[in-house]
Amino acid sequence: MPWNCLQFNVDDAGIATVTINRPDKLNALNSQTVSELAEAFAQVEADDAIRALILTGAGEKAFVAGADISGFGWATKEAASEGSSSGSLIFRRLETSRKPSVAAVNGFALGGGLELALCCTVRIASENARMGLPEVKLGIIPGYGGTQRLPRIVGRGRALEMILTGDPIDAAEALRIGLVNKVVPLADLLSTAKTLLGRMLNNGPAAVAAAMRAVDRGLDGSLEEGLAIESSLFGEVTTTADCKEGVAAFLEKRKPVFTGK
């Protein structure tokens, strides 16, 4: 499809790079951008030739500097709630994808931008990155999952400090509290993301997908429920051709050739 707010490219390794392309607006999310993201996530999930996703922003200043408030209208509280819910469902598609994703955070990731990054499997930040949820400064709260995902990643206290002050943190602090996995020079951001995904993609696709499902589903329940989910998924992956290939390759001291089946 033609993209107006995104760039969509797939390399020879099957890694799709989706770039939010509104640099004049610091890549702020408007309704069209969110709609195109939904299409992009669906395309990544449906295309078996695509094995993983990098999500980033155009330019050197911003990943996504937040929502483009001028493009959203909330005539009633019902309309506002519906807008929040529909956006959250789109972001959830990314979070529950069977394919790993990396948020390559190049600059500002504020409000909806940070909420989008939180949905990726992992996050890598450039040294100039700044991340935050400033919604309270506008008299609102995060509406695309920030109040739910941030505490799960960095803990209740740190998340509440960020949410209630609305103050951003720099890349070094984001690394310290576990909000991002790595901090690298801006020039190395995309190559580092591809290298990390390459290490994941060396492994059995069915196992990678099952491991992500186990973590996602297990986080919302008790330890006992999580262990049951893990055991069920463990049983599922042992029936795959990739499992048989992985075991055979280990015993034969060779590199496995996984097919995703």
| Cβ neighbourhood burial of 185 (10 Å; 0-12, 13-18, 19+) | exposed
Amino acid at position 17, single letter: T
**Would residue 173 show up in a list of annotated catalytic residues for this protein?**
no
Q: How far apart are CA 6 and CA 32, in angstroms?
A: 10
**Would residue 115 show up in a list of annotated catalytic residues for this protein?**
yes
> Annotated catalytic residue: which of 45, 127, 135, 245?
135
Q: How far apart are CA 192 and CA 204, in angstroms?
A: 21
Phi-psi region of 178 (alpha: psi -120 to 50; beta: other; left: phi over 0): left
Question: Which residue in 214, 210, 189 sits closest to 54, CA to CA?
Answer: 189
Q: At what angle do helices 146-154 and 156-165 cross, to 10 degrees?
A: 140
The tokens for 35 are: 């709609």
> Annotated catalytic residue: which of 39, 82, 115, 225?
115
Question: Which residue in 216, 194, 71 sits closest to 145, CA to CA?
Answer: 216
Catalytic residues: 115, 135
